[in-house]
Amino acid sequence: MNDWRNRIGLFLVAASFAASVIWILVRPSPGDGAPTDRQEPVVIRFAHVTIHPGIIRAYDDAIRDYEKLNPGVRVVQMPVPIRMWSAWLRTQMVGGNAPDLADMDRGQPDEFLARYFLPLDEWVEQPNPYNVGTELEGRRWRETFINDLRSGRAYRVNLQQVYGIPFTIQTVRLFANANLLREITGSTKVPENYAELIALCHEIEAYSERTGRTILPFAGSVNHTHHYLNRLFGSQTQRLMNEPAVNVHRSFVPIVPEVYMTAYLAYLRGSWSWRDPAVASGLTMMREIAGYTTTGFLQLQRDDSLFQFAQGRALFLPTGSWDADTILAGVPFPMAILPVPLPTTDDGVRGSLTLGPISDLSETPGNAVGVARSSRHPEIAVDFLRYLTSQPVSRRVMQDSNRLSSILGVAPPESIAGFAPRLHGFPLGFHPGLTPEGSEAERVYRSLLHRLVSRGGSVEDFTDAIERVFPAAIMADLRRFNATARETSRVDDALLVAGWVGPEAKEATTSRRLDLMLETQTLRELAAAQAEWATANAQLSSQTPAAKAP
C-alpha cells in the first residue's frame, strides 16, 4: 500500500516536473514572433512633429488602411509640438519609453542618432513590397526615392549610414502677389534671373515713390529670408567648390554635410577665405537683396513676414514647399510660384562664378522618420515605413496634405506644382548657412549676420568680424565631429566582434553587414583623421596668401 502511494507521489512529481520543462521550452519569449489571434496586437508608436491637421488626417487614413492589411498590428500616431520635440524625444529615449518610429531630422545630433536609432542600410537595399504593381516594382527601396536617399539628414555622412526615411522633398521658391505684380509692371511676367529681379526691384521702388504707397520687393523674417540668401551665396561658390584646391578628393561633393566638411578643410588649408572674389560676390548679393527686404528681418518671425505678404505690402515671399499649404490657405489673392532668380552664366562677373541652374536633388529631404533602436518590432516598424513611402500611399498622403513626395513618379498636388523639384542642374556651392544645425560655425555666422545685412553694416565689416572668429568655430565643430566619430567607432567594434564570433557569424547576411560596417568605419575614421590633421596643420589663407593650392 505504502509502495503504491510512493509510486503515485513520484509519478505526480515527475509529471509536474516534465510539464514545467515542456512549458519552459515551448513558451514564447516576451515580444517574440508574430502576433497570433489570441495575442494582443503589436503596437507601433509613430511620433512626429507635423501637427498640421491635414497631415494628421492623411496619416490617420493611411494607418487605417495599413491596419486592415495587417490585422495583428496597431499603429498609434503621436503628434508632438515641435517646440517640445527635442526634450520630449530625449526623455522618451533615455527613459526607455521610446516610440518605435520618430522624426529624426529635427536637430538631433549624430551621437544621439547613433545611440538611439537603428541604421537602415540593410533594409533600404531591398525592394519595397508595397510597390508591387507600380513602375517601382522590384527596385531597391533606396532607389524609389527622388534622391536615392543620398541627401543629408536621412543619410548621415558623419556616420556614413542611412538613419531616416524621408516622406517629403523640400524645395525653395518665391511666392509672388500676381495682382500687385500686374499693378506695378502691367504684366504678370515674373523675373527669370537675378538681373531681371534687380531691375524689377528698381521698378518697385519707382512705383512706391510715384504712388506714395510703400511696397517692398520681399517680405522678410529670420525663417524665410535665410533660404533665399543662402541660395544667392551658394550660386557664387559653385565653381570655387569644384576647384581642385577645394575639391581635393575630386568627388564634387553634392550634399550638405559633405559640402561643409569639404569647405571647412579647404578653409583650414588656405584654399579660400572670406575675401575670396566668389565669397565676396555672394556676400554682396546677400546685402543687395537684404536691402530690398523688410527692415530688421533678422528679428522677425515667420508669421510677421507672412502677415506682411498677405496684406499686400510686399511683392514676394521666399519660402519652402513645407510652408505652401499654409500660404495657399491663408492668402486672399492669386499668386505665382517662381524659382529663386539667380545669376545666369552670362551675367558678367557674377555669371562667371556660377555653373548654372541649381538642381533640387541636393536639397535636404523633409520629414525623415527613423526606427528607434529600442523598438521591440523593428521589422514591423520598417514595414510601416515601406507602406507610407510606397508610390500609391505616398501619392494619396501628399495630395491630402499638399506636400511634395520624396518618392519617384509621384507628381506634386496641382496647387503647389510650382514647387516641383528641379531634377536637372548643378549642385549648389557652399554657403554660410550650410553648417550643421547647432554648430559653432552656424552660431557665429548668425550672430554676425546683422553686420552684413543691416543698414549700417557692410560686406567689409562682416568680413572683418567673421574672419576673427571663424577658424576657432570650425575647429570646434571638427573636434566635435571627431568625438562623435570615435564614439560611433567604439560601438562599431562591439558590433563587429558580435558579427565575427557571435552566433550569427555563419549567417550569409552577417558577412555583408560586417563588410558594410567595416567600409563605413574605415572611411569615417579616415575623414576624422583628415579633419584632425587639417586642424593641426591649419594654414589660413589670410595668414599665408601664397599657400593657396596643394
Partner 1 sequence: MPARRCVRSRAGRGLACALGLVAGAMSRLNAESNGDSAWQNLREWRFTEATRAFEQTADEPTHRLGLAVALLNLQPRTADRIARAERELSALAEDASASADVVVPANYLLARIAEVHAFTPDPARAAERYAALLAAHPQHPFAQTAAARLATLRLYKLGADPLRTLADLESLGRQLTDAGARRDFHLVLGRSYLFFGGDRGRALEHLQSAMAAGIVAATVRADVLVQIGEVARELDQPAISRQAWSEFVETFPRDPRVDLIRERLAALPEGGRP
Interacting positions 409-428 with partner 1 (CB under 8 A): 423-427
Residue selected from 129, 277, 330, 550 as contacting partner 1 according to rule CB under 8 A:
550
Choice between 6 and 447, CB closer to partner 1: 6
> Residue 13 Cβ, how far from partner 1 at the closest point, in Å?
8
> Residue 547 Cβ, how far from partner 1 at the closest point, in Å?
11
Choice between 6 and 544, CB closer to partner 1: 6
Distance CA 392, CA 493 (A): 41
Q: Is the Cβ–Cβ distance between 282 and 234 less than 8 Å?
A: yes
Contacts of partner 1 in 59-98 (CB under 8 A):
none
Residue selected from 19, 34, 411, 529 as contacting partner 1 according to rule CB under 8 A:
529
Distance CA 257, CA 436 (A): 7
Give the binding range for partner 1 (CB under 8 A) out of 8-16, 229-237, 278-286, 430-438. 8-16
Choice between 67 and 504, CB closer to partner 1: 504
Give the binding range for partner 1 (CB under 8 A) out of 34-42, 190-198, 315-323, 513-521. 513-521
Burial group, residue 71, by CB count within 10 angstroms (0-12, 13-18, 19+): exposed
Of how many residues is the chain composed?
550
Q: Number of residues in contact with partner 1, rule: CB under 8 A?
A: 72
Choice between 209 and 379, CB closer to partner 1: 379
395 touching partner 1, by CB under 8 A: no
HSE-CB at 263 with a 13 A cutoff on CA atoms is 30
Choice between 95 and 503, CB closer to partner 1: 503
Distance CA 326, CA 137 (A): 34
Choice between 219 and 434, CB closer to partner 1: 434
Distance CA 310, CA 459 (A): 32
b/e per residue 289-322 (b: at least 16 CB within 10 A): bbebbbeebbebeeebbbebbbebbbbbbbbbbb
Task: Check residue 315 and report its DSSP letter.
Answer: E
Where does 331-415 have alpha helices with state H?
Answer: 348-352, 378-388, 391-401
> Residue 276 Cβ, how far from partner 1 at the closest point, in Å?
20
Contacts of partner 1 in 174-233 (CB under 8 A):
none
> Residue 28 Cβ, how far from partner 1 at the closest point, in Å?
14
Contacts of partner 1 in 469-498 (CB under 8 A):
486, 489-491, 493-495, 497-498
Residue selected from 500, 509, 542, 543 as contacting partner 1 according to rule CB under 8 A:
500
Distance CA 372, CA 376 (A): 9
115 touching partner 1, by CB under 8 A: yes
Give the binding range for partner 1 (CB under 8 A) out of 86-94, 226-234, 452-460, 521-529. 521-529
6 touching partner 1, by CB under 8 A: yes
Give the binding range for partner 1 (CB under 8 A) out of 4-12, 50-58, 167-175, 381-389. 4-12
Query: 336 pairs with which residues across the strands?
Result: 176
Q: Residues 128-167 vs partner 1: string with x where CB under 8 A?
A: --------------x---xxx-x----x----x-------
> Residue 435 Cβ, how far from partner 1 at the closest point, in Å?
19
> Residue 499 Cβ, how far from partner 1 at the closest point, in Å?
8
Distance CA 363, CA 153 (A): 10
Q: Residues 19-38 vs partner 1: string with x where CB under 8 A?
A: --x--xx-------------
Q: DSSP 3-state assignment of 190? A: coil
Distance CA 312, CA 177 (A): 7
Q: Residues 236-275 vs partner 1: string with x where CB under 8 A?
A: ------x-x---xxxxx-xx--------------------
Choice between 181 and 368, CB closer to partner 1: 368
> Residue 518 Cβ, how far from partner 1 at the closest point, in Å?
6
Crossing angle (nearest 10°) for helices 277-290 and 459-501: 110
Q: DSSP 3-state assignment of 77? A: strand
Choice between 116 and 445, CB closer to partner 1: 116
Query: 102 pairs with which residues across the strands?
Result: 47, 370
> Residue 365 Cβ, how far from partner 1 at the closest point, in Å?
12
Q: DSSP 3-state assignment of 192? A: coil
Pairing of strands 314-320, 216-218: parallel
Distance CA 359, CA 347 (A): 19
Distance CA 401, CA 54 (A): 5
Of 257, 232, 88, 83, the C-alpha closest to 160 is: 257
Choice between 334 and 502, CB closer to partner 1: 502
Contacts of partner 1 in 373-392 (CB under 8 A):
373-374
The H or E element that residue 499 is part of is helix 459-501
Q: Is the Cβ–Cβ distance between 134 and 408 less than 8 Å?
A: no
The three-point CA angle 479-446-264 to 5° equals 35
* The C-alpha cell that represents 321 in the structure block: 514647399
Choice between 336 and 516, CB closer to partner 1: 516
HSE-CB at 186 with a 13 A cutoff on CA atoms is 1
Q: Residues 453-472 vs partner 1: string with x where CB under 8 A?
A: --------------------
Choice between 36 and 251, CB closer to partner 1: 251
Contacts of partner 1 in 332-361 (CB under 8 A):
355, 359, 361
> Residue 132 Cβ, how far from partner 1 at the closest point, in Å?
22
> Residue 267 Cβ, how far from partner 1 at the closest point, in Å?
15
